[in-house]
């Protein structure tokens, strides 16, 4: 793995070129271009705010606590991070099957292609950060949000999420070449993960729910739970994950990265033969 990382680093310029190409191809036929990376999460945020912040505001406010007065910021924080996750998983799954000609003709580490999809979707996430900051500044001016040391949770959240997504991208992209059902299966998994992660609702809602203890424990084994708690903790320090939840998120993400890298290297000969 060390030699693989060194080879990947030596081809970082190629990775950057592939990311720029993917972004250009994705938006070249679009009138609004990169603005779509902002319009979609903002639109979803508006829908969920209307449902949970207006129609079911009484139930929502009871569990949100200090975040109740700034629920749109809570929503946007989770949705922008989720768009990076869902887009990266969806596009990384077919990163090899969709670029077979490049993979078989270019002298590059093959890990560049799925990792490039994760990096490209991170660029879209980064483009939305000024929107989050502007909304947070507005709520901070009215005293409903008081960001401070908790801002340091953002780089930690991004780092852990990036590690997890790279590991999943390597694993899914390789397996999908050999079993094309993986791409369709991931559509269902992504939908389930959206509701199985505290994105539009607080973690306390699950912890206070009348559910079996084993089910709550299984829920918190999802590394995205700790990761999204870190994202929310940027503006709401009380949402910072406890030591057990944080250790689970970091530990599982690292395990997924190692497993994904190992699986990719083991399956690479069969993948190249199939392509």
pLDDT digits (tens, 9 = 90+) for 17-57: 887 877 777 666 665 666 777 778 888 888 888 887 777 66
What pTM, to 2 d.p., does this model score?
0.88
**Statement: residue 64 has pLDDT above 80:** no
Instruction: Report whether pLDDT(68) > 90.
Output: no
Output the pLDDT for position 42: 84
Rg (CA), the chain: 19
Note the pLDDT tens digit of each residue in 226-266.
Answer: 999 999 999 888 889 999 999 999 999 999 999 999 998 88
| Sequence-separated contacts (24+) of 128-135 with Cβ below 8 Å | 128/37, 128/38, 128/41, 128/80, 128/83, 129/80, 131/38, 131/42, 131/76, 131/80, 132/73, 132/76, 132/77, 132/80, 135/72, 135/73, 135/76
Alpha-carbon gap, residue 121 to 111, rounded angstroms: 16
With a cut of 90, say whether residue 160 has pLDDT above it: yes
- Using one digit for the tens of pLDDT, what is the confidence trace for 112-128? 888 888 988 898 898 88
Q: What pLDDT sits at residue 165?
A: 95
Contacts of 80 (CB under 8 A, 6+ apart): 41, 125, 128, 129, 131, 132
- Choose between 2 and 171: higher pLDDT: 171
Look at residue 210 in the predicted model and tell me its pLDDT: 83
Beta carbons of 261 and 272 less than 8 angstroms apart: no
Q: From 92, 88, 94, select the one nearest 177 (Cα to Cα).
A: 94
Token pair, residue 49, equals 């705010």
| Cα dihedral: 90, 92, 94, 97 (round 10) | 170
Mean pLDDT, to the nearest integer, of 94-99?
79
For residue 188, pLDDT over 80 is answered with yes
Q: For the chain, what percent of residues have pLDDT higher than 90?
A: 30
DSSP structural state of residue 179: -
pLDDT of residue 213: 86
> For position 61, what pLDDT does the model report?
64
pLDDT at site 251: 95
pLDDT of residue 58: 67
Mean pLDDT score, 47-71: 72
**Residues 7-17 pLDDT 10s:** 666 667 777 88
Say which residue, 120 or 180, is predicted with more confidence.
120
Task: Determine the average pLDDT of the residues in 94-102.
Answer: 77
Reference 271, options 182, 181, 174; nearest CA is 174
Average confidence score pLDDT of the chain: 84
Provide, rounded to the nearest whole percent, the portion of the chain with pLDDT above 70.
87
């Amino acid at each position: 793995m060390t030699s693989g990382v060194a080879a990947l680093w030596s081809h970082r310029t190629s990775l950057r070129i592939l990311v720029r190409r993917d972004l250009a191809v994705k938006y070249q036929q679009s009138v609004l271009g990169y603005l779509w990376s902002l319009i979609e999460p903002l639109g979803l945020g508006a829908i969920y705010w209307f449902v949970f912040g207006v129609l079911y505001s009484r139930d929502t406010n009871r569990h949100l606590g200090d975040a109740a007065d700034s629920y749109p910021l809570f929503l946007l924080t989770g949705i922008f991070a989720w768009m990076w996750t869902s887009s990266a998983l969806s596009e990384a799954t077919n990163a090899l099957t969709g670029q077979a000609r490049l993979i078989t003709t270019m002298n590059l580490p093959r890990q560049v292609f799925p990792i490039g999809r994760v990096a490209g979707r991170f660029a879209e996430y980064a483009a939305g950060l000024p929107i989050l900051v502007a909304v947070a500044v507005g709520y901070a001016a009215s005293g409903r949000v008081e960001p401070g040391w908790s801002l340091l949770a953002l780089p930690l959240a991004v780092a852990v999420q990036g590690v997890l997504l790279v590991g999943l991208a390597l694993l899914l992209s390789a397996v999908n070449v050999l079993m094309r059902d993986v791409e369709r299966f991931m559509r269902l998994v992504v939908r389930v993960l959206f509701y199985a992660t505290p994105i539009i609702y607080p973690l306390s809602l699950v912890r206070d729910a009348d559910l079996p203890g084993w089910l709550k424990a299984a829920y918190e084994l999802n590394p995205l739970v700790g990761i999204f708690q870190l994202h929310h903790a940027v503006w709401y320090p009380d949402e910072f994950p406890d030591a057990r939840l944080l250790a689970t998120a970091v530990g599982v993400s690292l395990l997924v990265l190692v497993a994904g890298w190992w699986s990719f290297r083991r399956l690479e000969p069969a993948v190249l033969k199939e392509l």
